[in-house]
Amino acid sequence: MQVRFRSPSGSKVCVVGQSPSALTDDRRVLTIAQVNSHSVVPLRPDRDCSVTVVDAERVAGVREALPADGSIEELAQIFGLLADPRRLRLIAALLEGGEMCVCDLTAITGHSMSAASHALRLLRAKRVVKVRRSGRMAYYRLADSHVRMLLDVALAHIRHEQGERDD
């Protein structure tokens, strides 16, 4: 069986065929191009990839299982928000203390009122935290159990890594 991939312009750029006779499983050989999720890109054997055996069925299955591009971009934005130590301090405070007003959060984290409010606004825009207003006071909490679970898993991972380094 041979599968020919074509670029968006229609020109043939690669052929996937049977694996070399040395291999006995059902792998395929990607001979002159590498396929990514959006296009087919010609390989340059001198610098791109020294591996010429590709498990075509596995690649196709994994590619189908990947989240949509929009979901990946939104996930990257959320992880970008979580990558800031100041915002993470606020989130960790909410994780430990539950719902709190901005004044309490600034006292815990050492942030200015302005910096904490700005960070909380960004987190609220991406649905990481929720706000409840009572008169002039604003009380923040983690948006849902998924955020709590994500942080718990990340903290467990850090503790696990630290434990391995101590051994």
Tell me the whole-structure pTM to 2 decimals. Answer: 0.60
61/94 same-domain check? no
CATH number at residue 145: 1.10.10.10
Q: How confident is the model at residue 155 (pLDDT cuts 50, 70, 90)?
A: confident
101/155 same-domain check? yes
Q: How confident is the model at residue 52 (pLDDT cuts 50, 70, 90)?
A: low
91/28 same-domain check? no
DSSP the chain: --EEEE-TT--EEEEEEEPPTT--SS-EEE-SEEE-SS-EEE--TTTS-S--EE-HHHHHHHHHHSPPHHHHHHHHHHHHHHTSHHHHHHHHHHHHH-SEEHHHHHHHH---HHHHHHHHHHHHHTTSEEEEEETTEEEEEESSHHHHHHHHHHHHHHHHHHHHHH-
Domain that holds residue 143: 73-166
Torsion 123-125-129-135 (CA) sign: positive
54/84 same-domain check? no
Q: How confident is the model at residue 51 (pLDDT cuts 50, 70, 90)?
A: low
43/98 same-domain check? no
Q: Is the pLDDT of residue 8 over 80?
A: no
98/140 same-domain check? yes
Residue with tokens 């609220």: 124
| Gyration radius of the chain over CA positions | 24
58/82 same-domain check? no
